[in-house]
Structure 1
Amino acid sequence: MKTKMLLWTPVLAGLTAMLAGCAAPGRAIDKEAEARAIAARPAEPTAQEWPDPASAKWKEGAFPNLENVRKMAPGMGKDQVRELLGWPHFSEGLWGVREWNYLFHLRTGKTPSDYVTCQYMVRYDGAELATGAWWKTADCAALANPPAVTPIPAAPTLMPPQKVSLSADGLFRFDGAGPADLLPEGRERISQLAADIRANFKVLHYITVTGHTDRLGTDTYNQALSQARADTVRDLLVQGGIDRAKVRAVGMGKRQPVVSDCAGSRATPELVKCLQPNRRVEVEVQGGN
Protein backbone atom coordinates (compact mmCIF):
# COMPACT_ATOMS: atom_id res chain seq x y z
CA MET A 1 0.00 0.00 0.00
CA LYS A 2 2.83 2.40 0.81
CA THR A 3 4.36 1.80 -2.64
CA LYS A 4 1.04 2.54 -4.40
CA MET A 5 0.66 5.79 -2.51
CA LEU A 6 4.08 6.89 -3.60
CA LEU A 7 3.26 6.04 -7.22
CA TRP A 8 -0.03 7.98 -7.25
CA THR A 9 1.17 11.05 -5.34
CA PRO A 10 2.84 12.73 -8.36
CA VAL A 11 -0.25 12.10 -10.45
CA LEU A 12 -2.53 13.69 -7.85
CA ALA A 13 -0.19 16.60 -7.45
CA GLY A 14 -0.14 17.18 -11.20
CA LEU A 15 -3.92 17.00 -11.42
CA THR A 16 -4.26 19.45 -8.54
CA ALA A 17 -1.88 21.85 -10.21
CA MET A 18 -3.80 21.58 -13.50
CA LEU A 19 -7.13 22.30 -11.84
CA ALA A 20 -5.65 25.23 -9.97
CA GLY A 21 -4.43 26.64 -13.25
CA CYS A 22 -7.94 26.51 -14.70
CA ALA A 23 -9.52 28.60 -11.96
CA ALA A 24 -8.97 32.25 -11.21
CA PRO A 25 -9.09 33.30 -7.58
CA GLY A 26 -12.53 34.61 -6.66
CA ARG A 27 -12.71 38.35 -6.21
CA ALA A 28 -15.38 40.98 -5.84
CA ILE A 29 -16.36 42.90 -8.98
CA ASP A 30 -15.11 46.47 -8.93
CA LYS A 31 -18.10 48.83 -9.29
CA GLU A 32 -16.25 51.19 -11.61
CA ALA A 33 -15.17 48.32 -13.84
CA GLU A 34 -18.73 47.03 -13.85
CA ALA A 35 -20.01 50.45 -14.92
CA ARG A 36 -17.47 50.57 -17.75
CA ALA A 37 -18.55 47.13 -18.96
CA ILE A 38 -22.21 48.12 -18.91
CA ALA A 39 -21.48 51.32 -20.82
CA ALA A 40 -19.28 49.63 -23.46
CA ARG A 41 -22.14 48.54 -25.76
CA PRO A 42 -19.95 46.80 -28.36
CA ALA A 43 -21.18 46.11 -31.88
CA GLU A 44 -22.68 42.72 -32.67
CA PRO A 45 -20.22 40.11 -33.95
CA THR A 46 -19.87 39.98 -37.72
CA ALA A 47 -20.62 36.77 -39.61
CA GLN A 48 -16.87 36.14 -39.95
CA GLU A 49 -16.31 36.40 -36.19
CA TRP A 50 -18.49 33.42 -35.28
CA PRO A 51 -16.51 30.19 -34.87
CA ASP A 52 -17.19 27.17 -37.05
CA PRO A 53 -19.55 24.85 -35.10
CA ALA A 54 -17.37 21.92 -36.19
CA SER A 55 -14.50 23.40 -34.16
CA ALA A 56 -16.41 23.12 -30.88
CA LYS A 57 -14.61 21.13 -28.20
CA TRP A 58 -17.91 19.89 -26.74
CA LYS A 59 -19.81 19.17 -29.96
CA GLU A 60 -22.74 17.69 -28.09
CA GLY A 61 -23.80 21.18 -27.02
CA ALA A 62 -26.47 21.68 -24.36
CA PHE A 63 -30.13 22.50 -23.80
CA PRO A 64 -29.87 25.78 -21.88
CA ASN A 65 -32.09 27.00 -19.10
CA LEU A 66 -33.67 29.88 -21.02
CA GLU A 67 -34.61 31.66 -17.82
CA ASN A 68 -30.90 31.76 -17.00
CA VAL A 69 -30.04 32.97 -20.52
CA ARG A 70 -32.51 35.83 -20.10
CA LYS A 71 -30.74 36.88 -16.91
CA MET A 72 -27.53 37.59 -18.82
CA ALA A 73 -26.48 41.24 -18.56
CA PRO A 74 -23.39 43.37 -19.17
CA GLY A 75 -21.14 43.75 -16.15
CA MET A 76 -21.30 40.10 -15.04
CA GLY A 77 -18.09 38.32 -14.15
CA LYS A 78 -17.11 34.98 -15.66
CA ASP A 79 -18.07 33.04 -12.55
CA GLN A 80 -21.54 34.58 -12.72
CA VAL A 81 -21.85 33.72 -16.41
CA ARG A 82 -20.66 30.17 -15.76
CA GLU A 83 -23.32 29.74 -13.07
CA LEU A 84 -25.98 30.74 -15.61
CA LEU A 85 -24.72 29.12 -18.81
CA GLY A 86 -22.08 26.57 -17.85
CA TRP A 87 -18.56 26.39 -19.33
CA PRO A 88 -18.12 27.46 -22.98
CA HIS A 89 -18.24 24.71 -25.61
CA PHE A 90 -15.33 25.83 -27.75
CA SER A 91 -11.62 25.67 -26.98
CA GLU A 92 -10.98 29.41 -26.71
CA GLY A 93 -9.96 29.04 -23.04
CA LEU A 94 -11.52 30.13 -19.79
CA TRP A 95 -9.45 32.86 -18.15
CA GLY A 96 -7.61 35.65 -19.88
CA VAL A 97 -9.85 35.41 -22.96
CA ARG A 98 -12.34 37.94 -24.31
CA GLU A 99 -14.95 35.57 -25.71
CA TRP A 100 -16.99 32.48 -24.78
CA ASN A 101 -18.97 30.56 -27.37
CA TYR A 102 -21.74 28.01 -26.88
CA LEU A 103 -23.76 25.50 -28.88
CA PHE A 104 -27.28 25.65 -27.49
CA HIS A 105 -30.22 23.50 -28.57
CA LEU A 106 -33.56 25.31 -28.59
CA ARG A 107 -36.86 23.47 -28.87
CA THR A 108 -39.12 24.72 -31.64
CA GLY A 109 -42.38 23.52 -30.10
CA LYS A 110 -43.44 21.72 -33.29
CA THR A 111 -42.98 18.34 -31.61
CA PRO A 112 -41.64 17.43 -28.13
CA SER A 113 -38.34 16.29 -29.65
CA ASP A 114 -37.89 18.92 -32.37
CA TYR A 115 -35.10 21.44 -31.81
CA VAL A 116 -32.54 23.57 -33.63
CA THR A 117 -28.91 24.12 -32.69
CA CYS A 118 -27.90 27.76 -32.24
CA GLN A 119 -24.68 29.59 -31.48
CA TYR A 120 -24.46 32.00 -28.56
CA MET A 121 -21.54 34.30 -27.81
CA VAL A 122 -20.52 36.27 -24.71
CA ARG A 123 -17.77 38.87 -24.96
CA TYR A 124 -15.66 40.30 -22.14
CA ASP A 125 -13.45 43.32 -21.58
CA GLY A 126 -9.96 43.44 -20.11
CA ALA A 127 -11.36 43.16 -16.59
CA GLU A 128 -13.08 39.89 -17.65
CA LEU A 129 -16.54 41.38 -17.26
CA ALA A 130 -19.21 40.68 -19.86
CA THR A 131 -19.90 43.54 -22.28
CA GLY A 132 -22.58 41.81 -24.34
CA ALA A 133 -24.16 38.53 -25.43
CA TRP A 134 -25.64 37.59 -28.81
CA TRP A 135 -27.41 34.83 -30.73
CA LYS A 136 -25.95 34.21 -34.18
CA THR A 137 -29.32 34.38 -35.98
CA ALA A 138 -32.54 36.27 -35.48
CA ASP A 139 -34.48 32.99 -35.58
CA CYS A 140 -32.54 31.69 -32.59
CA ALA A 141 -33.02 34.98 -30.73
CA ALA A 142 -36.78 34.73 -31.36
CA LEU A 143 -36.91 31.16 -30.05
CA ALA A 144 -35.01 32.16 -26.92
CA ASN A 145 -37.06 35.33 -26.38
CA PRO A 146 -40.51 34.80 -27.90
CA PRO A 147 -42.58 37.98 -28.20
CA ALA A 148 -45.08 38.52 -25.45
CA VAL A 149 -48.61 37.57 -26.47
CA THR A 150 -51.01 40.44 -25.97
CA PRO A 151 -54.44 39.08 -25.16
CA ILE A 152 -57.25 40.39 -27.33
CA PRO A 153 -59.57 42.32 -25.07
CA ALA A 154 -63.04 40.92 -24.86
CA ALA A 155 -65.65 42.85 -26.78
CA PRO A 156 -67.79 44.93 -24.44
CA THR A 157 -71.23 43.60 -23.67
CA LEU A 158 -73.79 45.99 -25.10
CA MET A 159 -76.38 46.89 -22.48
CA PRO A 160 -79.95 48.01 -23.17
CA PRO A 161 -80.34 51.80 -23.05
CA GLN A 162 -80.50 52.98 -19.45
CA LYS A 163 -82.84 55.89 -18.70
CA VAL A 164 -82.96 58.05 -15.59
CA SER A 165 -85.73 60.58 -15.01
CA LEU A 166 -84.84 63.58 -12.84
CA SER A 167 -87.55 65.79 -11.46
CA ALA A 168 -87.00 69.34 -12.68
CA ASP A 169 -88.50 70.60 -9.40
CA GLY A 170 -85.67 68.82 -7.59
CA LEU A 171 -82.99 70.25 -9.92
CA PHE A 172 -83.98 73.88 -10.49
CA ARG A 173 -85.81 76.64 -8.71
CA PHE A 174 -89.32 77.15 -10.12
CA ASP A 175 -89.15 78.29 -13.78
CA GLY A 176 -85.34 78.22 -13.59
CA ALA A 177 -83.10 76.61 -16.19
CA GLY A 178 -79.52 77.94 -16.00
CA PRO A 179 -76.57 77.00 -13.76
CA ALA A 180 -77.47 79.82 -11.36
CA ASP A 181 -80.94 78.28 -10.95
CA LEU A 182 -79.66 74.87 -9.86
CA LEU A 183 -80.57 73.76 -6.36
CA PRO A 184 -77.65 72.36 -4.30
CA GLU A 185 -79.26 68.93 -4.19
CA GLY A 186 -79.86 69.10 -7.94
CA ARG A 187 -76.20 69.84 -8.65
CA GLU A 188 -75.15 66.96 -6.39
CA ARG A 189 -77.60 64.58 -8.10
CA ILE A 190 -76.18 65.32 -11.54
CA SER A 191 -72.59 65.02 -10.32
CA GLN A 192 -73.39 61.61 -8.84
CA LEU A 193 -75.05 60.55 -12.08
CA ALA A 194 -71.87 61.40 -14.02
CA ALA A 195 -69.81 59.32 -11.59
CA ASP A 196 -72.22 56.39 -11.93
CA ILE A 197 -72.03 56.53 -15.73
CA ARG A 198 -68.20 56.51 -15.67
CA ALA A 199 -68.15 53.58 -13.24
CA ASN A 200 -70.73 51.40 -14.97
CA PHE A 201 -70.02 51.98 -18.66
CA LYS A 202 -66.56 50.99 -19.90
CA VAL A 203 -67.67 51.86 -23.43
CA LEU A 204 -69.96 54.84 -23.94
CA HIS A 205 -71.80 55.23 -27.24
CA TYR A 206 -74.06 58.17 -26.51
CA ILE A 207 -76.04 60.05 -23.88
CA THR A 208 -79.23 61.92 -24.70
CA VAL A 209 -80.43 64.57 -22.24
CA THR A 210 -84.05 65.53 -22.87
CA GLY A 211 -85.85 68.38 -21.14
CA HIS A 212 -89.64 68.32 -20.62
CA THR A 213 -92.12 70.87 -19.23
CA ASP A 214 -95.75 70.82 -18.19
CA ARG A 215 -98.50 72.38 -20.34
CA LEU A 216 -98.67 75.67 -18.49
CA GLY A 217 -97.29 78.54 -20.55
CA THR A 218 -96.87 79.06 -24.29
CA ASP A 219 -95.36 76.52 -26.62
CA THR A 220 -92.44 78.84 -27.40
CA TYR A 221 -91.70 79.46 -23.73
CA ASN A 222 -91.88 75.77 -22.82
CA GLN A 223 -89.64 74.76 -25.74
CA ALA A 224 -86.95 77.24 -24.72
CA LEU A 225 -87.23 76.26 -21.03
CA SER A 226 -86.92 72.55 -21.73
CA GLN A 227 -83.91 73.09 -24.04
CA ALA A 228 -82.14 75.33 -21.52
CA ARG A 229 -82.59 72.76 -18.73
CA ALA A 230 -81.28 69.98 -20.97
CA ASP A 231 -78.25 72.14 -21.88
CA THR A 232 -77.48 72.81 -18.20
CA VAL A 233 -77.65 69.12 -17.26
CA ARG A 234 -75.48 68.21 -20.26
CA ASP A 235 -72.85 70.75 -19.25
CA LEU A 236 -72.76 69.41 -15.68
CA LEU A 237 -72.30 65.84 -16.95
CA VAL A 238 -69.36 67.03 -19.04
CA GLN A 239 -67.88 68.79 -16.00
CA GLY A 240 -68.23 65.41 -14.24
CA GLY A 241 -65.92 63.71 -16.75
CA ILE A 242 -68.25 62.66 -19.57
CA ASP A 243 -67.00 63.16 -23.14
CA ARG A 244 -68.91 66.15 -24.50
CA ALA A 245 -68.87 64.72 -28.03
CA LYS A 246 -71.06 61.85 -26.84
CA VAL A 247 -73.72 63.93 -25.10
CA ARG A 248 -76.55 65.72 -26.89
CA ALA A 249 -79.24 67.89 -25.34
CA VAL A 250 -82.79 68.06 -26.65
CA GLY A 251 -85.79 70.16 -25.59
CA MET A 252 -89.22 68.58 -26.02
CA GLY A 253 -91.30 71.32 -24.40
CA LYS A 254 -94.71 69.98 -23.34
CA ARG A 255 -95.09 67.44 -26.18
CA GLN A 256 -94.43 64.24 -24.16
CA PRO A 257 -96.36 64.42 -20.85
CA VAL A 258 -96.40 61.46 -18.51
CA VAL A 259 -99.63 62.60 -16.82
CA SER A 260 -102.52 64.13 -18.78
CA ASP A 261 -105.57 63.88 -16.54
CA CYS A 262 -104.97 67.05 -14.49
CA ALA A 263 -108.02 69.33 -14.74
CA GLY A 264 -107.80 73.07 -15.21
CA SER A 265 -105.85 75.61 -17.21
CA ARG A 266 -104.94 78.23 -14.55
CA ALA A 267 -101.71 77.73 -12.61
CA THR A 268 -103.30 76.96 -9.28
CA PRO A 269 -101.18 75.23 -6.61
CA GLU A 270 -103.23 72.11 -7.11
CA LEU A 271 -102.68 72.03 -10.88
CA VAL A 272 -98.96 72.81 -10.56
CA LYS A 273 -98.62 69.92 -8.14
CA CYS A 274 -100.60 67.55 -10.37
CA LEU A 275 -98.45 68.39 -13.38
CA GLN A 276 -95.18 67.97 -11.46
CA PRO A 277 -94.22 64.58 -13.09
CA ASN A 278 -94.22 66.26 -16.50
CA ARG A 279 -91.54 68.74 -15.42
CA ARG A 280 -88.50 66.52 -15.77
CA VAL A 281 -85.11 65.93 -17.40
CA GLU A 282 -84.50 62.43 -18.78
CA VAL A 283 -81.00 61.07 -19.29
CA GLU A 284 -80.68 58.04 -21.57
CA VAL A 285 -77.33 56.21 -21.72
CA GLN A 286 -76.27 53.68 -24.37
CA GLY A 287 -73.03 51.75 -23.88
CA GLY A 288 -71.42 48.54 -22.67
CA ASN A 289 -69.39 47.05 -19.83
Structure 2
Amino acid sequence: MNNSYINKVTGLGVLGLTALAMTGCVGTKHLSAGINDAGQVEQENIVFPDLDDAWQKSGQFPNSENLEKIKPGIDKDDLYDLIGAPHFSERHKAREWDYIFKFYDENQDIKICQYKV
Protein backbone atom coordinates (compact mmCIF):
# COMPACT_ATOMS: atom_id res chain seq x y z
CA MET A 1 0.00 0.00 0.00
CA ASN A 2 1.54 3.32 -1.00
CA ASN A 3 2.02 6.30 1.28
CA SER A 4 -0.45 8.53 -0.61
CA TYR A 5 -3.21 5.97 -0.01
CA ILE A 6 -2.39 5.86 3.71
CA ASN A 7 -2.46 9.66 3.85
CA LYS A 8 -5.81 9.71 2.02
CA VAL A 9 -7.43 7.25 4.39
CA THR A 10 -5.77 8.86 7.40
CA GLY A 11 -7.15 12.19 6.25
CA LEU A 12 -10.61 10.69 5.98
CA GLY A 13 -10.26 9.21 9.45
CA VAL A 14 -8.95 12.38 11.01
CA LEU A 15 -11.40 14.66 9.27
CA GLY A 16 -14.31 12.27 9.28
CA LEU A 17 -16.24 10.83 6.40
CA THR A 18 -18.97 13.43 6.34
CA ALA A 19 -20.85 12.68 3.16
CA LEU A 20 -22.20 9.23 3.99
CA ALA A 21 -25.90 8.93 4.63
CA MET A 22 -26.59 5.54 6.13
CA THR A 23 -30.03 4.17 5.36
CA GLY A 24 -31.84 2.79 8.39
CA CYS A 25 -29.63 4.48 10.97
CA VAL A 26 -31.83 7.42 11.89
CA GLY A 27 -31.85 8.01 15.61
CA THR A 28 -30.48 10.15 18.37
CA LYS A 29 -27.13 8.60 19.40
CA HIS A 30 -24.27 10.77 18.17
CA LEU A 31 -21.18 12.60 19.34
CA SER A 32 -20.81 15.12 16.54
CA ALA A 33 -23.02 18.22 16.49
CA GLY A 34 -25.18 19.38 13.62
CA ILE A 35 -25.60 16.15 11.66
CA ASN A 36 -28.26 16.87 9.02
CA ASP A 37 -30.89 14.45 7.69
CA ALA A 38 -28.56 13.42 4.85
CA GLY A 39 -25.88 12.38 7.38
CA GLN A 40 -23.60 15.32 6.63
CA VAL A 41 -21.80 17.42 9.23
CA GLU A 42 -19.41 20.34 9.08
CA GLN A 43 -15.79 19.34 9.65
CA GLU A 44 -15.42 21.51 12.75
CA ASN A 45 -18.37 19.70 14.39
CA ILE A 46 -16.94 16.19 14.03
CA VAL A 47 -16.12 14.53 17.35
CA PHE A 48 -14.31 11.21 17.70
CA PRO A 49 -14.77 9.02 20.77
CA ASP A 50 -11.87 8.31 23.08
CA LEU A 51 -9.96 5.21 21.91
CA ASP A 52 -10.22 3.77 25.43
CA ASP A 53 -14.03 3.65 25.04
CA ALA A 54 -13.90 1.14 22.17
CA TRP A 55 -15.12 -2.39 22.75
CA GLN A 56 -12.71 -3.58 20.06
CA LYS A 57 -9.61 -1.81 21.37
CA SER A 58 -7.06 -3.34 19.01
CA GLY A 59 -8.72 -2.09 15.83
CA GLN A 60 -8.39 -3.82 12.48
CA PHE A 61 -6.42 -3.72 9.25
CA PRO A 62 -9.15 -2.83 6.73
CA ASN A 63 -9.26 -4.18 3.22
CA SER A 64 -8.34 -1.20 1.00
CA GLU A 65 -10.62 -2.40 -1.82
CA ASN A 66 -13.56 -2.46 0.57
CA LEU A 67 -12.78 1.05 1.83
CA GLU A 68 -12.86 2.33 -1.73
CA LYS A 69 -16.41 0.93 -2.12
CA ILE A 70 -17.79 3.10 0.69
CA LYS A 71 -19.70 5.94 -0.96
CA PRO A 72 -22.57 8.27 -0.04
CA GLY A 73 -25.85 6.38 0.20
CA ILE A 74 -24.40 3.01 1.22
CA ASP A 75 -26.72 1.15 3.57
CA LYS A 76 -25.77 -0.31 6.93
CA ASP A 77 -25.87 -3.93 5.74
CA ASP A 78 -23.38 -3.20 2.95
CA LEU A 79 -21.20 -1.27 5.39
CA TYR A 80 -21.19 -4.26 7.77
CA ASP A 81 -20.15 -6.51 4.88
CA LEU A 82 -17.35 -4.15 3.82
CA ILE A 83 -15.76 -3.13 7.15
CA GLY A 84 -17.67 -4.90 9.89
CA ALA A 85 -19.41 -3.64 13.01
CA PRO A 86 -18.35 -0.33 14.56
CA HIS A 87 -15.69 -0.58 17.26
CA PHE A 88 -17.55 1.55 19.77
CA SER A 89 -20.93 1.19 21.52
CA GLU A 90 -23.05 2.58 18.71
CA ARG A 91 -26.56 1.21 18.98
CA HIS A 92 -29.09 0.28 16.31
CA LYS A 93 -30.30 3.86 15.84
CA ALA A 94 -26.89 5.58 15.83
CA ARG A 95 -26.32 8.53 13.49
CA GLU A 96 -22.59 7.86 13.25
CA TRP A 97 -20.37 4.82 13.53
CA ASP A 98 -16.73 4.89 14.63
CA TYR A 99 -13.93 2.50 13.76
CA ILE A 100 -10.28 2.04 14.68
CA PHE A 101 -8.17 1.17 11.65
CA LYS A 102 -4.53 0.18 11.47
CA PHE A 103 -2.22 0.80 8.52
CA TYR A 104 1.47 0.34 7.87
CA ASP A 105 3.34 3.57 7.14
CA GLU A 106 6.36 3.90 4.84
CA ASN A 107 8.64 2.62 7.66
CA GLN A 108 6.41 -0.43 8.19
CA ASP A 109 5.31 0.95 11.58
CA ILE A 110 1.65 0.55 12.47
CA LYS A 111 -0.36 3.76 12.34
CA ILE A 112 -3.70 3.95 14.20
CA CYS A 113 -6.48 6.00 12.58
CA GLN A 114 -10.04 6.68 13.61
CA TYR A 115 -12.67 6.43 10.90
CA LYS A 116 -16.20 7.79 11.20
CA VAL A 117 -19.20 6.99 9.04
TM-score, normalised with respect to structure 2: 0.62
Return the offset for 1:47: 6.5
CA contact 2:62–2:102 (8 Å) conserved in 1: yes
1:152-191 Cα offsets, whole Å, 9 max, x none, are: xxxxxxxxxxxxxxxxxxxxxxxxxxxxxxxxxxxxxxxx
Pairs within 5 Å for 1:1-289: 40=38, 42-46=40-44, 49-93=47-91, 95-111=92-108, 114-122=109-117
Q: Mark the structure with the bigger radius of gyration.
A: 1
- Gapped runs of 5+ residues in structure 2? 1-22, 24-37
Give every structure 1 segment of 4 or more consecutive aligned residues whose post-TM-superposition deviation is greater than 6 Å: none
Q: What amino acid maps onto 1:59 in structure 2?
A: K
- For these two proteins, the number of residue pairs brought into alignment is 82
CA distance 1:110–1:68, shift in 2 (3 Å): same
**What is the alpha-carbon root mean square deviation over aligned residues?**
2.2
Taking a change above 3 Å as real, the CA distance of residues 44 and 69 of structure 1, as seen in their structure-2 partners, is: farther
What percent identity do the matched residue pairs reach? 42
The DSSP-based 3-state class of the residue aligned with 1:117 is strand
Other-structure match for 1:141: none
| Cα distance change of structure 1 residues 53 and 44 upon mapping to structure 2, 3 Å threshold | farther
In 2, Cα distance between the equivalents of 1:91 and 1:115?
A: 24
Partner Cα separation in structure 1 for residue 95 and residue 45 of structure 2: 17
Higher helix residue share: 1
Structure 1 runs not aligned, ≥5 long? 1-28, 30-39, 123-289
2:75, 2:42 → 1: CA distance? 20
Structure 1 69/48 Cα, relative in aligned 2: closer, same or farther at 3 Å?
A: closer
**Residues in 2 aligned to 1:72 and 1:110: alpha-carbon distance in whole angstroms:** 27
Q: Give how far 1:109 is off.
A: 2.6
**Relative contact order (alpha carbons < 8 A, sep ≥ 6): 1 or 2 greater?**
2
Distance 1:41 1:48, change over 3 A: closer
- The alpha-carbon deviation at position 92 of structure 1 amounts to 1.7
Distance in 2, matches of 1:44 and 1:64, equals 25
